[in-house]
Structure 1
Amino acid sequence: MQLHITTYGTYLHVKDSMFDVRRKGDDGRVLSATYSAEKVTHILLATGTSLSTDAVKLAMRHNVDIVFLERDGDPMGRVWHAKLGSTTKIRKRQLEVSLGAEGLRWVRTWLLAKLDNQAGFIRSLKKHRLQHSAYLDDKLARLDALSVSISTLDGARVADVADTLRGLEGTAGRLYFETLSYVLPADYQFNGRSSRPAHDAFNAFLNYAYGMLYGKVEKTLMLAGLDPYVGFLHRDDYNQLSMVYDFIEPYRGWADEVVFRLFSAKKVNKSHVDAVSGGRNGGAKAGESTPGESTPGVSLNAEGKPLLVNAFNEFMDNDPIRYRGRNLVRSHCIQLDAHQFANELIGKTGGMPELTML
């Protein structure tokens, strides 16, 4: 069970050795709900909420992950116990691999998996949209050509071809999101990816879904003994979770699918987002604001967040798929891959790793 606490003024504390969530209702009365610490796996708190130190202690005793979220759903920090939980050999090897040919092999693997999943999603859309077959076939052919370019790119290490890889990945992303917008109902179509702030409701939902996925991937990497900050492709900037951004690539399509389903089923409306004054636009494209200029946008509100959170959690944690010979929910698929990645780094390649259920 996840406690996703987003309502302003909500307070999490402990009552009778259980998590107790309290907030004032519209009529001024205090509303309260209690949850067993043994059943809670994650606690996610949005801005404007609070918790007690007793709640932190209870969470640590039961290995419950506490994540603090930005307005757009990105994790800005977490409370986690001080135990490493694995051998430091994994992290040492991770750093060594990041500098050589093996690191490039892993980056290719993740990016090719991402493009393959994007193409698979487009093929699934094609089944029920025969009127768009020619358009979708063209996009699939172009994605396939980009995959070939990535797989055949020469280089001894990631640093030799990083800019080219980012360019190919970026081109694939533009083609992919153009396609998703094209097949959506006209009222829901959008003009490419945007963040900080999102320029439209689709991107607002997608940014929040990615934020939740970042949190899942970061914890999964830590459980596998990996360092979320030592990436292979993404830059090692100050406080940047570079490996999270590398490792997440094959799984972004799951967040895309959750959001697309909500919009294609017309479950989203204007009441689910609010206008925001904007943030800083980090890099302008043609027709957009100049870098550093404050831009208006939209953000999920108190009605939109539960809609997405419930759909995302159901898709990730309660909807098993066949994966590597097992029936697993998607969260456990990510964990399986993380453990296998860690094991391969230190030369342990025999058999499927055991899963610690999150």
Structure 2
Amino acid sequence: MQVYLNTFGTYLHIKDDMFEVKIPVKDGEPIKKTLAAHKVSSFVLATSASLSTDAVRLALYNNIDIIFARSDGYPLGRVWHSKLGSTTKIRKQQLQASINEEGVKATKNWISEKMTNQLEFIKDLKKHRPQMAEYLDDKIERIQNLVISVGKLEGKTVQDFAETIRGLEGTAGRLYFETINYVLPQSYQFNGRSSRPAKDSFNAFLNYAYGVLYTRTEKALILAGLDPYVGYLHRDDYNQKSMVFDFIEPFRIFVEVPVFRLFTAKKVNKAHIDEITNGVTLNKEGKELLIKALNEYLEEDAIRYKNRNQTRANIIQQEAHSYANQLIEKTKDTSETLYL
């Protein structure tokens, strides 16, 4: 499990060879929670907290990363062991794939899966909203055509069609979020995607959820032996973790669904966000509400994957390992379509 330290003054240390978290309580004794190392996958420090060197040492011994998160949920940095996730052959092949047809194949697959997941989500919305069928059918048809267009793209490298596929992806995203906005309760509706800062509560929740997913995806790539910085579609800007942004695309649905459900269930209110300059941001209560929903959705055994019920979190990791294996030809084509 991921453990979020989200209370000002929280202290993480070791007691009896286990993690102990002390959470301060106003005018009272601190709350103490003990955690066995084998039950923790990572610690996320989302606000002012402190930790002992013994806690860091125990985390390193048990392959637990300690993540320092920004206010929007994206990782600022992480403390982790210095070992590679696997053989360096994977990274060598990844570099070659970035300039050959393997990168083309992977990029088309990831973007197609992302758009297909958006499409399937809209189809699911239609099942419960017959009064919106005409509107939703139009969006379904248009996104289906965009998926077909992605499949027809050709090139020896991704750069041969990079601008075209970005345009198709962007159009699908606009149609998708227009649809989500249309079906949300009127009080939650928003005017398009916005980030840094979010202009409304829905985008604030979604941006933070993407940050959580980004953290998990980066770790999955590292464990699989892939280089987070060597991507195919996203640009190789300074300190840009391009592969994280490439590989995350099919899994965005894993956080979009629980965010959507929080709003359609009307669990979000003004007490969950704070106003900042030119926008809004999640506060402590909002983060707690979101993290609980995300963890429940990511950790439930709800998807049939390779003949087993798997959690969505496990699927991200297994897909990373599968792709790494493809790069070094340990397996042929192990990619699968993701089902909600």
Structure 1 residue identity aligned to 2:201:
A
Q: Which runs of 5+ in 2 are unaligned?
A: 336-340
Question: What's 1:304 paired with?
Answer: 286
Match of 1:335 among 310, 317, 330: 317
Aligned pairs (5 A) from 1:250-289 = 250-277=250-277
Question: What's 1:316 paired with?
Answer: 298
Question: What's 1:74 paired with?
Answer: 74
Counterpart check, 1:344 vs 2:326: yes
Query: Alpha-carbon deviation of 1:270?
Result: 0.6
Q: Structure 1 CA distance, aligned partners of 2:273 and 2:169?
A: 29
Q: Structure 2 CA distance, aligned partners of 1:119 and 1:352?
A: 23
The aligned length equals 335
Question: What's 1:292 paired with?
Answer: none
Higher alpha-carbon deviation: 2-11 or 211-220:
2-11
Question: What's 1:111 paired with?
Answer: 111
1:162–1:351 CA distance, 2 compared to 1 (3 A):
closer
Query: Alpha-carbon deviation of 1:24?
Result: 2.0
Q: Structure 1 CA distance, aligned partners of 2:96 and 2:2?
A: 36
Structure 1 residue identity aligned to 2:280:
V
Report SS of the residue matched to 2:81: coil
Cα RMSD for the two superposed structures: 1.5
| Per-residue deviation, residues 285-333 of structure 1 (Å, max 9, x unmatched) | xxxxxxxxxxx11111111111110110111012431123221000111
Q: Structure 1 CA distance, aligned partners of 2:250 and 2:38?
A: 31
Question: What's 1:120 paired with?
Answer: 120
Q: Structure 2 CA distance, aligned partners of 1:325 and 1:27?
A: 53
Question: What's 1:194 paired with?
Answer: 194
Question: What's 1:43 paired with?
Answer: 43
Structure 1 residue identity aligned to 2:40:
V
Q: Structure 2 CA distance, aligned partners of 1:192 and 1:243?
A: 26
Indicate conservation of the 8 Å contact 2:326/2:332, yes or no: no
Question: What's 2:89 paired with?
Answer: 89
| Per-residue deviation, residues 91-119 of structure 1 (Å, max 9, x unmatched) | 00000000012201110000000000000
Question: What's 2:24 paired with?
Answer: 24
Q: Structure 2 CA distance, aligned partners of 1:243 and 1:326?
A: 27
Indicate conservation of the 8 Å contact 2:85/2:226, yes or no: no
Q: Structure 2 CA distance, aligned partners of 1:181 and 1:92?
A: 43
Q: Structure 2 CA distance, aligned partners of 1:77 and 1:110?
A: 26
Q: Structure 1 CA distance, aligned partners of 2:158 and 2:213?
A: 25
1:352–1:98 CA distance, 2 compared to 1 (3 A):
closer
Structure 2 residue identity aligned to 1:138:
D
Higher alpha-carbon deviation: 234-243 or 153-162:
153-162
Q: Percent identity at matched positions?
A: 59
Q: Structure 1 CA distance, aligned partners of 2:187 and 2:301?
A: 29
Structure 1 residue identity aligned to 2:174:
R
Q: Structure 1 CA distance, aligned partners of 2:112 and 2:51?
A: 42
Structure 1 residue identity aligned to 2:294:
F
Question: What's 1:11 paired with?
Answer: 11
Q: Structure 1 CA distance, aligned partners of 2:263 and 2:331?
A: 41
Instruction: State the TM-score, normalizing by the size of structure 2.
Output: 0.95
Question: What's 1:289 paired with?
Answer: none
Query: Alpha-carbon deviation of 1:351?
Result: 9.4
Q: Structure 1 CA distance, aligned partners of 2:301 and 2:184?
A: 24
Report SS of the residue matched to 2:284: coil
Question: What's 2:245 paired with?
Answer: 245
Report SS of the residue matched to 2:33: strand
Higher alpha-carbon deviation: 341-350 or 250-259:
341-350
Q: Structure 2 CA distance, aligned partners of 1:321 and 1:247?
A: 19
Q: Structure 1 CA distance, aligned partners of 2:331 and 2:244?
A: 22
Structure 2 residue identity aligned to 1:41:
S
Segments of 4+ in structure 1 off by > 3 A?
Answer: 350-353
Query: Alpha-carbon deviation of 1:350?
Result: 6.0
Structure 2 residue identity aligned to 1:233:
L
| Per-residue deviation, residues 32-69 of structure 1 (Å, max 9, x unmatched) | 22211222111111132222221111101111121111
Indicate conservation of the 8 Å contact 2:326/2:333, yes or no: no
Instruction: State the TM-score, normalizing by the size of structure 1.
Output: 0.91
